[in-house]
Amino acid sequence: MRIRASLAAAALSGAAAMTALAVPAAHAEGNPAAAKAEQFKSAHQAPSKQQSFAASPATGADGDIQVTKVTVNANKDVVVGLSPKSFNVYVTVTDPSGISQGQNDVDVALWHGTNMETGDVDGFLWNENGAESCDYWSASAATCKFTITAKPGELDGLWGSELNGRWNVAVRGSANDGDSYENDFYKNHWIKRASSFSGFNAGPEPVAKGGTITISGTLNRASWSYMKYYGYGSQPVQLQFKKAGTSTYSTVRTVTTSSSGYAKTTVTASADGTWRFHYAGNGNSSVADAYDYVDVR
């Protein structure tokens, strides 16, 4: 029997927080993301012997098959700059009858939008070739490895910067006895635009003890819409210091980047050590760090 959690009310309420641009984009003519979502769904049509439970819970209460674990990119954010980014996803499925071993009998995809059933999808990442490998480590369980590639600036990938942020993880699984698992909202994962510093410097170097050290640099963030890095303005950047011979950074102060991403501050030289600008990231941008060692004499 088929377990369908994709229309569960709780899942939909969480998905509603996605960008409002998802709905009009998904209905646009020739939308590659919606087309890939349809292809994904078609690859998992239930056999005629199966029943459909429109709002069954994702716990597997209506069948023996269960998805017990999904790990995306080792549970780290997927950070994408201006080049394609490949990452691994592992899916573990169990059923007393054993797990089917067809090409797409265990499958996973990441999608951006509000409702995959109705086609309100504006981003879709999937390896249509199926799992790279599956480890059938017992008579009733399997863990499958998938490699998915996010391609910035491409219509069938991360075509625009508005796709940064929270994505949904859709999972499918089939068992030898015909049980089938389907959940469009198994979990969330974050795909973020890469951030980095340019022109970072702490100086002069060397500097006399008691002198002034100036630390400056520009925080940049990748644009998937224009395939360039732009200065990232109005962001908090921590100035941190690690004294020579130690291993821990301490925060000296927080500065805010200008509209062009530039940040500058000064400190009094007291000891040899490494100065760092640390950007903690946010819901759509990655962490970034820049370092410079200063010799104090």
pLDDT digits (tens, 9 = 90+) for 29-78: 579 999 999 999 999 865 433 333 333 333 333 479 999 999 999 999 99
Q: Give yes or no for residue 269 having a pLDDT over 60.
A: yes
Q: Can you tell me whether residue 288 is helix, strand or coil?
A: strand
Domain ranges of the chain: 2-192, 195-294
Mean local confidence (pLDDT), 10-16: 36
- The alpha carbons of the chain give a radius of gyration, in whole angstroms, of 24
Instruction: Tell whether pTM > 0.75.
Output: yes
Q: Which CATH number fits domain 2-192: 1.10.8, 3.90.550, 2.60.40, 3.40.30?
A: 2.60.40
Check: CB of residue 110 under 8 Å from CB of residue 147.
no
- What beta strand segments (E) does the chain contain? 2-4, 52-53, 66-72, 78-80, 85-94, 106-115, 120-126, 133-138, 141-150, 165-174, 180-193, 195-203, 212-223, 228-231, 236-243, 250-256, 262-268, 273-279, 288-294
Check: CB of residue 59 under 8 Å from CB of residue 8.
no
The span from the CA of 179 to the CA of 165, in Å, is: 33
pLDDT tens, position by position, 100-138: 999 999 999 999 999 998 989 999 999 999 999 999 999
**Topology given in CATH for the domain delimited by 195-294:** Immunoglobulin-like (2.60.40)
Q: Give yes or no for residue 15 having a pLDDT over 60.
A: no
Two structure tokens written together for 66 = 């269960």
The span from the CA of 188 to the CA of 70, in Å, is: 11
The span from the CA of 283 to the CA of 192, in Å, is: 7
Q: Give yes or no for residue 22 having a pLDDT over 90.
A: no
Two structure tokens written together for 112 = 């951006």
Tell me which amino acid residue 135 is.
Answer: D
Two structure tokens written together for 72 = 């995306």
pLDDT on residue 46: 54
CA quadruple 243, 249, 252, 257: dihedral positive or negative?
A: positive
pLDDT on residue 63: 78
CA quadruple 226, 230, 232, 233: dihedral positive or negative?
A: negative
pLDDT on residue 29: 54
* Phi/psi-derived region of residue 75, left when phi > 0, alpha when psi is between -120 and 50, beta in every other case: left
Average pLDDT over the chain reads 87
pLDDT on residue 54: 36
Q: Give yes or no for residue 1 having a pLDDT over 70.
A: no
From 36, 53, 1, 4, select the one nearest 171 (Cα to Cα).
4
- One fold for 2-192 and 195-294: yes
